[in-house]
Structure 1
Amino acid sequence: MATGADATGPFEAVVLAAGAGSRFGGGKLLAPYMAGVLLDGALAAAFAAPARSVTVVTGAEEEAVARAAIRLADRFGQHDRLRMVHAADYAQGMAHSLRMGVASLPAEAAGAFVFLGDMPRVPREVLQPMADAVRAGALAAAPVFAGRRGNPVLLARSLFPHVLALSGDAGARAVLADLGDRLARVEAPDDGVLYDVDRVEDLPS
């Protein structure tokens, strides 16, 4: 594998929001959460990242998810940073959505933050250190809490060809698995990097 990020190129952010949420019973990303919907948390974290743009990859419930993303971007005054990409074959698994998002990025992108739409509590404190680590030469960066690696991840552009070769539902895990010390691990202040919503009972009561 090649070196880390180009020191001068911009990072981009990708939010994977294409899944059908079958274990949740459908409609997961649009389920009420805090003062909005579940997707808002991941989107807000993506907009807080040191990234030039935020690409939301839609799939199931394409129009409703897109409306939710636009609504939040407008509320934050971030409409100009928002991009939308549709993964028509989202049922193939997370890898398809990730490939679609990464393939859509501008050629000069130095790397991509990858956020999962069902992880609403990502602590902002991990984002800049992740970017700094990849700028310093790491091939990827990920947050860690209590010894467990979490999300989001930041992938240097040199990993994009490996991402575009993925299949199934593994997401970026297969790309990170063999990086060893070329994966920078950033300590997270809380378990928001591990918390995701799979079922209705995972939502706060």
Structure 2
Amino acid sequence: MSKIGAIILAAGLSKRMGQPKLLLPLKGKPMFRYPLELAIRNQLDPICLIGGQHSKTFETEAADLLNVDYIWNPNYEEGMSTSLKMGIQHLKEETDAVFIFLADQPFVPDLVIQSMIEQYRNGIRIVRPVYQGDLGHPILIDKSLFKEFQNITGDQGGKEIIKKYKNQTRLLPFEDAFWGMDIDTLKDYQTGENYYKKITY
């Protein structure tokens, strides 16, 4: 059985929000906990969260969650790629594949994760969800691509690599656009609060 880990990217600067958005509460808990708990529920292991300015606070706010490695990225202001490379470096010897989660996407359900794992185990090297036609996260990548992902720079999230291996990539369509929603602005956050009042999963 393949060992699948998780990297939670949580070192963003929240420039559009104007405050540390990942610490804002959604349904009684800080936003960043949702992808962490999703990874734990689906038995992904190992799990690491890559943080920047608020790394220590993340660790404190999720102290009850076991088997999570919290890693501080001193170069977080240089873009997402620095966090992604740190995560892959941390997990590459222990995993056959990793999920790459964005910590500001709290609405991804278990169904997405389980469907992606099923596709990966059919021999696909990259699996990515598509929410009502929009490419989304998390992305599941095979360890054979780790080295290439470690060579990206700036705010690249691996788009060119995914394009390069499009024949070995499976795009999984899902109908609920909210599942792939980023919380970037106060309006997004308010929309997310209203959405969480309605869902039951």
Q: TM-score under structure 1 normalisation?
A: 0.86
Match of 1:102 among 74, 88, 91: 88
Cα distance in 2 for residues equivalent to 1:140 and 1:191: 21
The farther-off stretch of 116-125 and 100-109 is 100-109
* Conservation of the 8 A alpha-carbon contact between 2:46 and 2:94: no
Equivalent residue, structure 2, for 1:3: none
| SS at 1:177 equivalent | helix
Identify unmatched segments of 5+ residues in structure 1: 1-7, 74-78
| SS at 1:19 equivalent | coil
Cα distance in 2 for residues equivalent to 1:100 and 1:90: 10
| Percent identity of equivalent pairs | 27
* Conservation of the 8 A alpha-carbon contact between 1:50 and 1:131: no
Cα distance in 1 for residues equivalent to 2:175 and 2:129: 9
| SS at 1:162 equivalent | helix
Runs of 4+ in 1 over 4 A off after TM superposition: none
Could you tell me which amino acid in structure 1 is paired with residue 178 of structure 2? G
Identify unmatched segments of 5+ residues in structure 2: 194-201
Cα distance in 1 for residues equivalent to 2:11 and 2:74: 9
* Conservation of the 8 A alpha-carbon contact between 2:8 and 2:48: yes
- Residue-by-residue CA offset, 1:118-161 (whole Å, 9 max, x unaligned): 00000210112211222221111011122222111101001101
* Conservation of the 8 A alpha-carbon contact between 1:46 and 1:115: no
Cα distance in 1 for residues equivalent to 2:40 and 2:167: 28
Pairing of 1:58-137 with structure 2 (within 5 A): 58-71=51-64, 73=65, 79=66, 81-137=67-123
Could you tell me which amino acid in structure 1 is paired with residue 23 of structure 2? L
Tell me, yes or no, if structure 1 residue 152 matches structure 2 residue 138: yes
Cα distance in 1 for residues equivalent to 2:28 and 2:134: 29
- Residue-by-residue CA offset, 1:37-94 (whole Å, 9 max, x unaligned): 11122222222334222211111112112212324x1xxxxx0x21121111000100
Tell me, yes or no, if structure 1 residue 24 matches structure 2 residue 17: yes
* Conservation of the 8 A alpha-carbon contact between 2:126 and 2:168: yes
Distance change in 2, residues 1:93/1:99 (3 Å): same
Equivalent residue, structure 1, for 2:2: 9
- Deviation, 1:189, is 4.6
Q: What CA RMSD, in Å, does the superposition of the two structures yield over aligned residues?
A: 1.6
| SS at 1:57 equivalent | strand
Could you tell me which amino acid in structure 2 is paired with residue 138 of structure 1? I
The farther-off stretch of 105-114 and 184-193 is 184-193
Pairing of 1:173-184 with structure 2 (within 5 A): 173-184=159-170
What count of residue pairs does the alignment treat as equivalent?
191
- Deviation, 1:178, is 2.2
Q: TM-score under structure 2 normalisation?
A: 0.88
| SS at 1:184 equivalent | strand
- Deviation, 1:32, is 1.8
